[in-house]
């Protein structure tokens, strides 16, 4: 596994980004989840930074999803890719969030998606 210093020397000029990504992983180890959007021109180094995150995330379960044009019409396509391996833990979620995922995955066809999305955005009971 690369140390942060090794990653920094491999990825030239990315010290700030690596520090930020490392901070996200360290916070997650302390139980504080977060999110970062990496965006930039083709070839700028997004995947290289993600590879650094993967190397840094030892002990974590790493899930990935890829966007593809043919899926743009499919609701929750990326969510399906990400959460499918985790569905066996659905019962561990608070009721509102569990209901949202059940609808998104077609496990609760009685409930309209919009109603469930409203419930999911409300604070957990
Ligand atoms: N900061 C960097 N220092 C050294 N090499 C780099 C750096 N950033 C990227 N590279 C190298 O440049 C090439 C392109 O990087 P990468 O594939 O990560 O770009 P990308 O932003 O994911 O591109 P795309 O948008 O096409 O997916 C790779 O070979 C990668 O190792
Ligand atoms: Mg890439």
- Listed by start position, the domains of the chain span 4-56, 69-121
Q: Which two tokens stand for residue 16?
A: 């700030």
pLDDT of residue 10: 84
Q: 9 CA distance to ligand 1 centroid (A)?
A: 14
Tens digits of pLDDT across the chain (125 residues) = 445 455 555 899 999 999 999 999 999 999 999 999 999 999 999 999 999 999 999 999 999 999 889 888 988 999 999 999 999 999 999 999 999 999 888 887 666 555 545 555 555 55
Helix (H), strand (E), coil (C) string for the chain: CCCHHHHHHHCCCCHHHHHHHHHHHHHHHCCCCCCCCCCCCCCCCHHHHHHHHHHHCCCCCCCCCCCCHHHCCCCCHHHHHHHHHHHHHHHHCCHHHHHHHHHHCCCCCCCCHHHHHHHHHCCCC
pLDDT of residue 67: 87
Q: How many CA atoms lie less than 13 Å away from 38 in the CB half-sphere? A: 19
Ligand nearest to the CA of 38: 1
- pTM score, two decimals? 0.78
Q: Shortest CA distance to 15 belongs to which of 58, 54, 52, 57?
A: 52
Ligand nearest to the CA of 12: 1
- Using a 6 Å CB cutoff, which residues line ligand 1? 11-14, 40, 42-48
Which residue has its alpha carbon closest to ligand 1 atom 8? 45
Neighbours of ion ligand 2 (CB under 5 A): 46-47
Q: Which two tokens stand for residue 98?
A: 């569990």
pLDDT of residue 40: 97
Ligand 1 atom index nearest CA of 49: 18
């Amino acid at each position: 596994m690369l140390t942060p210093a090794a990653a920094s020397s491999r990825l030239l000029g990315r010290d700030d980004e690596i520090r930020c990504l490392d901070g996200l992983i360290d916070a997650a180890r302390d139980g504080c989840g977060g999110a970062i959007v990496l965006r930039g021109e083709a070839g700028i180094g997004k995947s290289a930074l993600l590879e650094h995150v993967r190397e840094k995330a030892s002990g974590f379960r790493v899930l990935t999803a890829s966007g593809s044009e043919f899926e743009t019409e499919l609701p929750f396509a990326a969510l399906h890719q990400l959460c499918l391996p985790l569905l066996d833990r659905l019962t561990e979620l608070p009721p509102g969030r569990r209901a949202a995922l059940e609808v998104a995955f077609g496990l609760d066809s009685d409930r309209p998606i919009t109603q469930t999305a409203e419930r999911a955005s409300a604070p957990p009971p």
